Amino acid sequence: DEEDIMRLDKFLSDMNMGTRTELKRDIREGAVQVNGEKITDPGFMVNENDEIIFAFLSVPYFRYEYYMLNKPAGVITATEDRYQKTVLDFFGERRRKDLSPVGRLDKDTVGLLLVTNDGGFHHRLLSPKKHIDKEYYARIDGRVDEADREKFEKGIYVDEIFTALPAKLMIDGYRENALESDFMDLANSRAPKSALENGVSEIRVVVQEGKFHQIKRMFHALGKEVIYLKRIRIGSIVLDPTLEEGTYRRLTAGEVAALEKNGHM
Ligand code: URA
């Protein structure tokens, strides 16, 4: 297992102990010990097995961080953007600079997004061979019926280059009275307001692929439009219902291990 060798100020900033500027000052002022010795050079090289004490507290090193974010609408899945708010903006200034989102949700899609600095995890999770379930809750303009469910089960022809693999569709209900609040990202929505006349179906769908606009395109191919889309599960990881939109929490060790296994508990 390769060892990370890094500057002392980077070690502490990776562990969220402060900004690089603050930490350089703290180190110079003598707040830090390495393996029992006071070190005042912020550029002193350490590794993850060194015993670092900062302000009398031991700071163990975690190479990898894994989070679930409840993504709101109107935010793009990217690491940085000059003009638009990105999902990493929720992690604040002090975040590790190597964090990035796993996969992508559309700007108007909400819900479960995993964020990590473990590049191998991205790769292992997104590999199509893994067949990891992605479950979405959606509202559809008009009535979704049993015939639609059977088409999802058979695999929907979307266009010449994309036929979706068989997917599980669950029809949770239908309401004749659609509300303005049934639509996602109202300000930017391209959703047809005809749902206000046609009523709204609530469904869940489980796919194992992650093609661009996959769920919207599958419904569109059946002549129906998604008006709200929320990812609620990836493999064994269920979106924590206590997480408000725009907030995140660390994955537990158990959640990471279960995903690593094969996406299932
Ligand atoms: N399918 C979509 O259409 N959009 C998403 O963001 C995710 C899945």
Q: Which of 77, 105, 206, 209 to mutate to test the pocket of ligand 1 (most atoms within 8 A of CB)?
A: 105
Round to whole Å and give the CA distance between 84 and 106.
Answer: 13
Pocket of ligand 1 (CB under 6 A): 105-106, 109, 213-216, 229
- Residues 166, 172, 174, 177, CA torsion sign: negative
Round to whole Å and give the CA distance between 55 and 68.
Answer: 30
Output the residue whose Cα is nearest ligand 1's atom 3. 213
Average pLDDT, 10 consecutive residues per value, the chain (265 residues) = 81 90 97 98 96 95 94 94 95 87 95 95 81 94 96 97 96 90 66 72 95 95 94 96 96 89 57
> Which pLDDT value is given to residue 222?
97
3-state helix, strand, coil in the chain (%, to 5): 25, 30, 45
Q: Which of 102, 214, 218, 219 to mutate to test the pocket of ligand 1 (most atoms within 8 A of CB)?
A: 214
> Which pLDDT value is given to residue 193?
60
CB 69 within 8 A of CB 240: no
> Which pLDDT value is given to residue 2?
56
Q: Scan for tokens 């979405």, then name that residue.
A: 136
Q: Scan for tokens 């109107």, then name that residue.
A: 74
Residue type, 50: D
> Which pLDDT value is given to residue 96?
86
pTM of the predicted protein model:
0.87
Which residue stretches of the chain are H helix? 8-14, 20-28, 119-126, 146-154, 195-198, 214-221, 253-261
CB 123 within 8 A of CB 116: no
Output the residue whose Cα is nearest ligand 1's atom 4. 213
> Which pLDDT value is given to residue 93?
79
The beta strands (E) that lie in the chain are given as 5-7, 32-34, 37-38, 45-47, 52-54, 57-58, 66-71, 100-101, 110-116, 134-141, 157-159, 162-163, 168-175, 200-207, 226-234, 237-238, 248-250
